[in-house]
């Protein structure tokens, strides 16, 4: 024995660690700790686990893990390499009568092919030497295509309208187009309907339609509002930055534009 187990046990006893305390510190089970100290590596899963446990145990005890592993390598014989034995391959011998049967079958097949080729050749010669000639196919009768005479286009003459009878379209009622160039609050009353109000933002438009009267009861920030009545623009509002009240739009307003 090389003594790595005795070194580990002496270091543990010097620290006054019990086996249970050592298990809690190293996370190695007690039975494996005893195996390491007794150098009984047969109960460990393998060489890799044994070296790993030795290295961890040595570090926790403050020992040099490389020295402990070197002592372990001296005390443990190398594991023999597994020998792979090849399984014997059984070669099945064919019966002696199989080869003549195969050769005979191939000869029969070749003979059948020769007879078939000769039959096709004789049939082709008979067809080529026969005096049969197929009758000509009937020719379809010629058909004459008759092109109809061109029909002269029909020219329609629009009815003549007397200019005196044409009446220009008229627009009934009032239509006010509101264009808001700035944010503007407005209250509107159309004819005898109840007034309504709202806040309109810059870049929006509003169309108002009435029969006799469209009244802009109150306009906040009137400078941001442009009004056109039946397509005719109204003058800009005076003191537009303030509130403007009672702007009445009627047919008389339209005639004055």
User: What residues have CB less than 8 Å from 205, skipping those under 6 apart?
Assistant: 177, 178, 179, 180
Q: What is the DSSP letter of 225?
A: E
Give the whole-angstrom CA distance, residue 49 versus residue 29. Answer: 12
Q: Could you give the number of structural domains in the chain? A: 2
Question: Is residue 119, in this structure, part of any structural domain at all?
Answer: no
Whose structure tokens read 């191939």?
A: 106
Say what the pTM is: 0.34
| Cβ atoms of residues 28 and 51 within 8 Å | no
Give the domain-ending residue among 75, 104, 137: 75
The whole domain housing 188 covers 174-256
Question: Is residue 204, in this structure, part of any structural domain at all?
Answer: yes
Name the nearest CA neighbour of 226 among 152, 176, 189: 176
Question: Is residue 153, in this structure, part of any structural domain at all?
Answer: no
User: What residues have CB less than 8 Å from 184, skipping those under 6 apart?
Assistant: 199, 200, 219, 220, 221, 222, 224, 225
Query: For residue range 8-27, what is the model confidence (pLDDT) as tens digits?
Result: 999 999 999 999 999 999 99
Query: For residue range 80-101, what is the model confidence (pLDDT) as tens digits?
Result: 555 555 555 554 555 665 676 7
Question: Is residue 82, in this structure, part of any structural domain at all?
Answer: no
What is the CA 206 to chain-centroid distance, rounded?
45
Strands 232-233 and 225-229, by their bridges, are: antiparallel
From the CB of residue 169, how many other CB atoms can be counted at a distance below 10 Å? 4
Enter the tokens of residue 216. 């802009």
Q: What is the DSSP letter of 76?
A: S
Q: What SS3 class is residue 23?
A: helix
| Cβ atoms of residues 244 and 219 within 8 Å | yes
Enter the tokens of residue 73. 């390598």
Q: What is the DSSP letter of 1?
A: -
Q: Please give the share of the chain, as a percent, with pLDDT higher than 90.
A: 31
User: What residues have CB less than 8 Å from 238, skipping those under 6 apart?
Assistant: 244
Question: Is residue 94, in this structure, part of any structural domain at all?
Answer: no
Question: Is residue 9, in this structure, part of any structural domain at all?
Answer: yes
Question: Is residue 163, in this structure, part of any structural domain at all?
Answer: no
Residue 203 has pLDDT above 70, yes or no: yes
Residue 80 burial by CB count (10 A; 0-12/13-18/19+): exposed, middle or buried?
exposed
Q: What SS3 class is residue 134?
A: coil
Question: Is residue 110, in this structure, part of any structural domain at all?
Answer: no
Q: Quote the pLDDT of residue 167.
A: 36
Query: For residue range 161-184, what is the model confidence (pLDDT) as tens digits?
Result: 443 333 334 467 899 998 989 898
Give the domain-ending residue among 18, 40, 75: 75
Give the domain-ending residue among 59, 75, 91: 75
Query: Does residue 20 come out as left (phi exceeding 0), alpha (psi in the -120 to 50 range) or beta?
Result: alpha
Q: Quote the pLDDT of residue 235.
A: 87
């Amino acid at each position: 024995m090389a003594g790595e187990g005795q070194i580990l046990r002496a270091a543990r006893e010097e620290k006054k660690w019990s086996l249970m305390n050592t298990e809690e510190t190293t996370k190695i089970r007690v039975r494996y700790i005893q195996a390491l100290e007794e150098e009984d590596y047969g109960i460990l899963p393998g060489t890799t686990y044994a070296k790993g446990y030795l290295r961890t145990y040595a570090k926790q005890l403050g020992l040099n893990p490389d020295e402990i592993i070197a002592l372990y390598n001296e005390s443990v014989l190398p594991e023999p390499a597994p020998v792979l034995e090849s399984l014997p391959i059984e070669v099945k011998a064919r019966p002696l009568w199989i080869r003549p049967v195969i050769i005979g079958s191939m000869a029969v097949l070749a003979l059948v092919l020769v007879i078939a080729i000769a039959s096709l050749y004789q049939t082709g010669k008979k067809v080529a030497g026969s005096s049969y000639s197929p009758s000509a196919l009937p020719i379809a009768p010629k058909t004459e295509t008759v092109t109809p005479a061109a029909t002269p286009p029909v020219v329609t003459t629009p009815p003549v309208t007397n200019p005196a009878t044409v009446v220009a379209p008229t627009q009934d009622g009032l239509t006010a187009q509101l264009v808001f160039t700035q944010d503007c609050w407005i209250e509107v009353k159309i004819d005898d309907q109840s007034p309504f109000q709202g806040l309109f933002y810059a870049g929006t438009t509003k169309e108002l339609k009435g029969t006799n009267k469209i009244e802009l009861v109150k306009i906040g920030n009137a400078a941001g509002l442009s009004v056109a009545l039946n397509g005719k623009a109204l003058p800009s509002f005076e003191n537009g930055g303030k509130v403007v009240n009672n702007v009445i739009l009627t047919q008389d307003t339209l005639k004055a534009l």
